[in-house]
Chains A and B, each alone.
Chain A
Amino acid sequence: MKNNKIWAIMRKEFARFFGDKRLVFTSILLPGLLIYFLYSFMGSAMGDMFGNEDGYVPVCYAVNVPANAEAMLEAALGTDIQTIDAAETESYKQQITASEADLLMVFPEGAEALFNGTAVPAEDAPMIALYFNSANTESLAVYQTAAAVLDGYESSVTNLFDINMGDESYDLATEEEAAGQIFAMMMPMLLMMFMFSGCMAVAPESIAGEKERGTIATLLITPIRRSHLALGKIFSLGVIAVLSGVSSTVGTVLALPKLMNFEDSGLNMDASFYGITDYLMLGCVIVSTVLLLVALISCISAFAKSVKEAGTALTPVMLINMLIGVTAMLGSAPTNPVMYCIPLYNSAQCMSAIFSFAADPVNIAVTCGVNLAVMGVMVFLLTRMFDSEKVMFSV
């Protein structure tokens, strides 16, 4: 079409964006890199905090420890338990407070009977005291392990019944489903946030910024149709926002196994078990959502006098978008297609469904349709705003 200037506007927006290396770096490459390193770091930091760090040998003391209990605990804790005298407990407690020792176990007199099966259940059960320091993560971890071992032993002595004591695997979820559950919980919220911030990186600058700098007026005196200007802007900004979102997503998917500490467990978390259809559906949802978000942010930016003002005006929208993302973390996606007529909410729920392998193509289609329709309304509004001197030349 000779009079179609959408592509001309898009080319200019792309030339503006991709011609600026710094802009490309900060809004496309940087988010992905930052997210990857941040999540990887968070994952390993959390691993250090909660997992027993390799190579750390806890310092444990015990009073009156029976031989078979000692063997059991030493195996579980991976350290030698040093036996001490009951009279010395106070000084070892101080060592624990000072983080010089990790655990002190005080068994009652005659504890042997408890561990060789000759004890009879008594009304007044004897107590084992475990002293630890919760401010010291190693001490806390050692305490938890020891308590679990002893607790487990206690239940096994009474032995009314056992749960899952055989050798087979009782968790019947497949590896995919288990990982899918994690993705379904984390990704929709993160994606909603990434898409929004991708749009925020470019749309206010391109709409409110052009207004602020007086360059939009230069476009407005050309015979270009306002709808072409609006569509050209929204499509090009949408492409850039999708790229930014993809970068953040790749960073997340690569870092998620580290974040969730699944590398050690051997669970396959590289998202390779999602099929082409899953990715296609995800792509449709993401593209339609980004177009809707870009159009929405552009409309609000058009009202603002400056990029800064646009940022302020968009903060509540960002919070709402985040809350909608959080809804996808709670419960499973609704099945009623009517629920998928609510823009943004539908996107979050669709993504949740896709990640947990429960996507319904009808709902995906409804979502994309609704998002594009709302985008159409926004484009119409933006077209009207480009034509309004009150909006374009507000002082």
Chain B
Amino acid sequence: MPRELITVNDLTKEFVLSTKQRKLNNTSEKVKIAANKLNFSVYEGEVFGLLGPNGAGKTTTLRMLSTLIKPTSGEAFVDGASIVREPDRVRSRIGFLTSELKLEQFFTPDYLFDFFADLHGVPADVAKARKAEMFSRFGINEFAGVKVANLSTGMKQKASLVISLVHDPDVVIFDEPTNGLDIITAKTVTDFLLDLKAEKKTVMISTHIFSLVEKLCDRVGIIIDGKMAVCDSLDAVCGGISLEDRFFELYNDAKEAAK
């Protein structure tokens, strides 16, 4: 049995909605339960996919795991460290990528890599070697000296990705890693994630793209409306039919149940 690197127990996040937010979402409910008693585990050396439609609660779950926000109730452990009680230890073990994390416009990818390596306490020589490797792998060298403000969306995404991994973490959590990327860059990213898996790293991604899950993931959790509909190995989840067909079955079941 491989080691459990992420353990999630009854993880729940409720957002109190302001009057404005309620109007915007066209709802009268005062709280939005973005994650509802989630339970799942991610094992060492696997790629775990969190699959769900827009607004399902994928980003919210990943934000809790990366300690950016605190759960309303429930608990989760990353490599044995509690996200509630030991956020510092969690932060040093994970690399987190989500569109919310922006790089300062004024600086270059080159500067920012060094800066974040410093914050993560990576020794200078190790950081230098890692920078050379990662920059050439993602083709960042040609714009390493260009200010972030002048980079294209895809270039920024690549820079963010590389910087989220300055410290070579054992657990990699990527929220929609291929969003906004062209197929060439998207393939670079997916190939990289498979390499990470080969290196025995633990990878957790969120996505709404079925093909990405089918291509990458060993196990998948399908999350609908904040609830985990199913969580198992890809084969077990599909049960002979395509992931897409299986998803719509689950989706319709969830809608029925909600009525």
* A residues at B contact (CB < 8 Å): 2-3, 5, 8, 12, 15-16, 19-20, 210, 213-215, 217-225, 389, 393, 395
In the assembled complex, the Cα of A2 lies from the Cα of B100 at a distance in Å of 29
B102 interfacial by beta-carbon distance below 8 Å: yes
**CB-CB under 8 A for A8 and B69, given A213-B102, A214-B101:** no
In the assembled complex, the Cα of A218 lies from the Cα of B156 at a distance in Å of 13
B119 interfacial by beta-carbon distance below 8 Å: yes
In the assembled complex, the Cα of A272 lies from the Cα of B24 at a distance in Å of 65
A/B interface sample: 30 pairs, CB < 8 A: A3-B121, A5-B119, A8-B115, A15-B111, A19-B106, A210-B104, A213-B102, A213-B105, A214-B100, A214-B101, A214-B102, A215-B103, A215-B104, A217-B68, A217-B102, A218-B101, A218-B103, A218-B163, A220-B68, A221-B68, A221-B96, A222-B91, A222-B116, A222-B119, A222-B120, A223-B91, A223-B92, A223-B120, A389-B70, A393-B68
B88 interfacial by beta-carbon distance below 8 Å: yes
Contact check: which of B66, B100, B118 meets A5 at CB < 8 Å?
B118
CB distance A8 to B119 under 8 Å?
A: yes
- How many chain B residues touch A (CB < 8 A): the figure is 27
Q: How many A-B residue pairs have CB under 8 A?
A: 61
- Chain B residues positioned under 8 Å from A210 (CB to CB): 104
- Chain A residues positioned under 8 Å from B192 (CB to CB): none
What are the interface flags for B92-126 relative to A under an 8 Å C-beta threshold, 1 for contact and 0 otherwise? 10001000111111110001000110111100000
CB distance A219 to B119 under 8 Å?
A: yes
- Chain B residues positioned under 8 Å from A218 (CB to CB): 101-103, 116, 163
> Given A3-B121, A214-B101, list of 19 further CB < 8 A pairs?
A8-B115, A8-B118, A15-B111, A16-B106, A16-B107, A19-B106, A20-B106, A213-B105, A215-B102, A217-B102, A218-B163, A219-B119, A221-B66, A221-B67, A221-B91, A222-B116, A223-B88, A393-B69, A395-B21
B193 to chain A, nearest CB (A): 19
What are the interface flags for B77-98 relative to A under an 8 Å C-beta threshold, 1 for contact and 0 otherwise? 0000000000011011000100
- Chain B residues positioned under 8 Å from A224 (CB to CB): 119
* Nearest-CB residue, chain A, relative to B93: A223
In the assembled complex, the Cα of A213 lies from the Cα of B104 at a distance in Å of 8
- Chain B residues positioned under 8 Å from A214 (CB to CB): 100-102
- Chain A residues positioned under 8 Å from B91 (CB to CB): 221-223
What are the interface flags for B45-84 relative to A under an 8 Å C-beta threshold, 1 for contact and 0 otherwise? 0000000000000000000001111100000000000000
CB distance B102 to A12 under 8 Å?
A: no
CB distance A217 to B100 under 8 Å?
A: yes
In the assembled complex, the Cα of A8 lies from the Cα of B127 at a distance in Å of 15
- In the A-B complex, the 5 residue pairs with the closest CB atoms: A214-B102, A223-B92, A223-B91, A218-B101, A222-B119
In the assembled complex, the Cα of A172 lies from the Cα of B68 at a distance in Å of 69
* Nearest-CB residue, chain A, relative to B102: A214
Q: Which of B92, B104, B163 has the most CB of A within 10 A?
A: B104
- Chain B residues positioned under 8 Å from A393 (CB to CB): 68-69
CB distance A12 to B121 under 8 Å?
A: no
- Chain A residues positioned under 8 Å from B70 (CB to CB): 389
B115 to chain A, nearest CB (A): 6
CB distance B92 to A16 under 8 Å?
A: no
Q: Which of A5, A19, A213, A222 has the most CB of B within 10 A?
A: A222
A390 to chain B, nearest CB (A): 9
In the assembled complex, the Cα of A20 lies from the Cα of B68 at a distance in Å of 30
- Chain B residues positioned under 8 Å from A15 (CB to CB): 107, 111
* Nearest-CB residue, chain A, relative to B70: A389
A7 to chain B, nearest CB (A): 9
In the assembled complex, the Cα of A140 lies from the Cα of B91 at a distance in Å of 76
- Chain A residues positioned under 8 Å from B101 (CB to CB): 214, 217-218, 221
In the assembled complex, the Cα of A215 lies from the Cα of B107 at a distance in Å of 12
- Chain B residues positioned under 8 Å from A3 (CB to CB): 121
CB distance B68 to A389 under 8 Å?
A: yes
- Chain B residues positioned under 8 Å from A219 (CB to CB): 119
B171 to chain A, nearest CB (A): 13
B93 to chain A, nearest CB (A): 9
A11 to chain B, nearest CB (A): 8
- Chain A residues positioned under 8 Å from B118 (CB to CB): 5, 8
A130 to chain B, nearest CB (A): 67
A217 to chain B, nearest CB (A): 5
- Chain A residues positioned under 8 Å from B106 (CB to CB): 16, 19-20
CB-CB contacts below 8 Å: B216-231 with A: none
In the assembled complex, the Cα of A367 lies from the Cα of B96 at a distance in Å of 45
In the assembled complex, the Cα of A214 lies from the Cα of B116 at a distance in Å of 16
* Nearest-CB residue, chain B, relative to A3: B121
* Nearest-CB residue, chain B, relative to A224: B119
In the assembled complex, the Cα of A179 lies from the Cα of B70 at a distance in Å of 60
- Chain A residues positioned under 8 Å from B116 (CB to CB): 218, 222
In the assembled complex, the Cα of A220 lies from the Cα of B68 at a distance in Å of 7
In the assembled complex, the Cα of A220 lies from the Cα of B115 at a distance in Å of 14
